[in-house]
Amino acid sequence: MLFVLCGAIFLEGIDVAMLNVALPSIRADLDLSTGMLSGVVSAYVLGYGGFMLLGGRAADLLGRRRMFLFWLTVFLLFSGLGGFATEGWMLLVARFVTGVAAAFMTPAGLSIITTGFAEGPQRNKALLVYAGTASAGFSLGLVIGGVLSSIDWRWVFFAPVILSAVILVLAVPLIPKDRPEHSGHGFDMAGAITVTGAMLLLAYAVVRLEHPAEGLGWTLGAFGAALAFLAAFISVERRSAEPLVRLGILRSGPLARANLGAMLFAGSFFGFQFLATLYLQELRGWTTLQTGLALLAIGIDAVLAPTLTPRLMERFGNVRVIFGGLVIAVVAYALFLPVGLDWTYAAMFPTMILLGLAFALVYGPLTIAATDGIAEREQGLAGGLLNTAFQFGAALGLSAVTAVNVAALGAGRSPGARLDAFQAALIVPVAAVVLAAIVTAFGLRRAGTPGSVPADPAKAGVEPAATGARP
């Protein structure tokens, strides 16, 4: 079962990474404008970010196995549609629906793990293997995407079809059946509509931050509408007899810190990865394959997460390991700040390997922290919240570094001016991960002995209903 679910999260990571490196080839073949090309990336973000919270709760209410299998099938079909695209709009539709499929599939898979393994060392080890596989998918996807793009960019869409078909065949007998919390009668439709509208509008507004000159009014309007939908959602949930999201879960201090830390950490990493790609390809003239190989060292997380991290967690505790990983990430980004036009890869390597170590110490333990002590019937919701935080963090990080880079560059186009703008934008990942470390530090005072859980759920910020006992 774990093998199948790790395959699914590997599929998601490799799918995103391969598309990122294939964009220039897609633009050249289909003659897409810059706006349309950006839309291909944004469409996935909209689908993923917009439906993630609903997807997490749907896994709890309608069945984790059912949601996982159904949306894995949708992922397969629409990834194939992208490979047959002859127009930009076909790619937009394919990527949006693929993002929606991932939004339902990912929290379902995560909650199958958290409910299928006993809370404690067994679940922690499974989650660390899962997190390492996700990182490996993204890292290897950069390399594989470069290879496939050099053959034909359409294979970037067809390869996930083959992989998802294999996973689907294995998942049918291996994923255990579960009893849905809800049959669908009396489903909180008003809550589903308002929260999805809020997430879609928020994702759209975040994406538009990358282009501040293209209608600031629309961006602010989208943020305002998102807040209005969010306020309506909270009002609906307070009155609903069967709320889509039990608002009390948001009062959990560890869960809130884990999600905020995840958002900031994801923003720092994806912002850095975007800048590093621009530096290597546009300033240094490296190929997509060379760039992917340069970033491959970060994938050491796939080895360290299931081997080193469990030992450190057992000795120092979850929160201290996360904090240590964030401090290492600060050092990694800071080492890259003085980057020059003539840097060798040996000078870049310490940043890459330290980021791999930081990922091993942060990503998996954050997943554990965000789902620890949460009732089985709300594990999908907890997974949805965490993945929403990661997704919006990544979008915010990309938007922030893009905005700073464009503002610092101005009218300059010389290599020196572009390097200065690149270095200015590098401050964003450093600042984001410093904030993540500060947020995590607040949990250090409350952290008990390594591997312990609070005896009183209320003191941990979790209502009694979230400890596993049904009201």
> What's the CA gap between 299 and 358, in Å, rounded?
11
In a domain, 172, yes or no: yes
pLDDT tens by residue, the chain, 471 residues: 999 999 999 998 888 888 877 877 888 888 877 567 767 877 887 788 778 878 888 888 888 999 999 999 999 999 999 999 888 889 989 999 999 999 999 989 989 998 888 888 888 888 888 888 887 887 788 788 888 887 888 999 999 999 999 999 999 999 988 877 654 445 677 887 888 888 778 877 877 776 665 667 888 888 899 899 989 988 988 888 777 777 887 777 888 899 999 999 998 998 898 888 888 887 888 887 888 888 888 888 888 888 899 899 989 988 999 999 999 999 999 999 999 999 999 999 999 999 999 988 998 899 888 888 788 778 878 888 888 888 888 878 887 888 888 788 876 678 888 899 899 999 999 999 999 999 999 887 665 544 444 433 333 333 333 333 333
In a domain, 228, yes or no: no
Three-class SS of residue 172?
helix
Pull the structure tokens for residue 314. 């057992």
3-state secondary structure 191-223: HHHHHHHHHHHHHHHHHHCCCCCCCHHHHHHHH
In a domain, 302, yes or no: yes
Q: Give the pTM.
A: 0.80
CATH of the domain at 46: 1.20.1250.20
What are the two backbone dihedrals, phi and then psi, of residue 168, each rounded to the nearest 5 degrees?
-65, -45
In a domain, 247, yes or no: yes
In a domain, 86, yes or no: yes
Could you tell me the residue range of the domain that residue 48 belongs to? Answer: 2-177+242-452+461-466
How many domains is the chain partitioned into structurally?
1
In a domain, 219, yes or no: no
> What's the CA gap between 246 and 348, in Å, rounded?
46
Contact (Cβ atoms closer than 8 angstroms) between residue 45 and residue 207 = yes
> What's the CA gap between 95 and 44, in Å, rounded?
5
In a domain, 351, yes or no: yes
**pLDDT, tens digit, for every residue of 386-397?**
888 888 888 788
In a domain, 197, yes or no: no
**pLDDT, tens digit, for every residue of 212-262?**
656 678 888 888 998 999 899 889 888 887 777 778 877 778 888 999 999
